[in-house]
Amino acid sequence: MASHTSTRTLRRVLVAGAITAGAVILPAAPAMAAPITIPGVGTFEIPEIPGLPPMPAQIPGLPGGPAPVAPQVTPAAKAVQAAESKIGSPYVYGASGPDSFDCSGLVQWAYKQAGVSLPRTSYDQAAAGTSIAESDLQPGDVVSFYGGSHSGIYAGNGNVIHASTSGVPVKVAPVASMPFDGARRY
C-alpha cells in the first residue's frame, strides 16, 4: 500500500514539475493563461502559446472532461442489429416479417429497419449493391449461397444470420457451412 501511495505522490510531483518547468521555459507572451484541471492533482494556469490552439479546460476522457462523441451507427450495423433481434423467429416461405421470414424476407426486413430499401428476392439481392469478395466481408454485407437461391446477413466473425428452411427458425450459422456464391454491400 505504501508503495502505491509513493508512486501516486511521485507522479503528482513529476506532473507539477513538468508543468512548472514548461511555464518557466515558455516565452513570455501577452496571451491569457488557460486553466487546465488534472483530476486528483489540481488546476493549473497554462499560458497559451501563440500559433497553437487553446488548451481545453478539462482533459478529454478523464472525469470532469468533455463527454466522448458517440460513434455513428451505420445502416449496415442497424441491419445486423435488426436481424439479430429476429433470431428464433419462425421460417415461413414468402414471409417478410415482422414475425416470420424466409431468407430474402429477413434480409429485406432488416435493411428496411435501417432505412435502406433492398430487392425482395435472393436472386435480386445477389445482383444489386456492390460486389464484395468473401475475404472482404464486413458486418451487414448480404451473403448469397447455393447459386444465389439463398441469402443472409453477415454478422462478423465468420457468421451469417439467416432464415434457412421450413421448421428451422432464424439462426446464426458459419458462412462456411453453406456453398458461398457471393456477397453484396449496400
**pLDDT tens digit sequence for 132-181:** 999 999 999 999 999 999 999 999 999 999 999 999 999 999 999 999 99
Cell 470532469, residue located: 64
- In a shared domain, residues 130 and 174: yes
The per-residue pLDDT of the chain, averaged, comes to: 82
- In a shared domain, residues 10 and 86: no
Domain boundary among 15, 39, 69: 69
Q: Is the pLDDT at 34 greater than 50, yes or no?
A: yes
Domain boundary among 13, 48, 69: 69
Amino acid at 86: K
Grade residue 69 by pLDDT with cuts at 50, 70 and 90: confident
At a CB cut-off of 8 Å and minimum separation 6, what does 130 contact? Answer: 184, 185, 186
- Cβ atoms 148, 132 nearer than 8 A: no
Q: Can 162 be counted among the known catalytic residues?
A: yes
Out of 97, 162, 164, 184, which one is annotated catalytic? 162
Domain boundary among 17, 39, 69: 69
Grade residue 72 by pLDDT with cuts at 50, 70 and 90: confident
Residue 118 CB: number of other CB atoms within 10 A? 22
* Of residues 3 and 34, more confidently modeled: 34
- In a shared domain, residues 100 and 50: no
pTM of the shown model? 0.64
Which pLDDT does position 24 carry in this prediction? 45
Enumerate the β-bridge partners of residue 184.
Answer: 131, 142
Which pLDDT does position 26 carry in this prediction? 46
- In a shared domain, residues 88 and 172: yes
Torsion of CA 77, 108, 153, 185, to 10 degrees: -70
Q: Which domain holds residue 2?
A: 1-69
Instruction: Determine the average pLDDT of the residues in 17-29.
Output: 49
Q: Can 4 be counted among the known catalytic residues?
A: no
Report which secondary-structure segment, H or E, holds 127.
helix 122-127
Enumerate the β-bridge partners of residue 91.
Answer: 101
- In a shared domain, residues 61 and 5: yes
Which pLDDT does position 29 carry in this prediction? 45
Grade residue 131 by pLDDT with cuts at 50, 70 and 90: very high
Out of 102, 121, 150, 161, which one is annotated catalytic? 150
Grade residue 66 by pLDDT with cuts at 50, 70 and 90: low
Out of 82, 83, 103, 183, which one is annotated catalytic? 103
- In a shared domain, residues 63 and 84: no
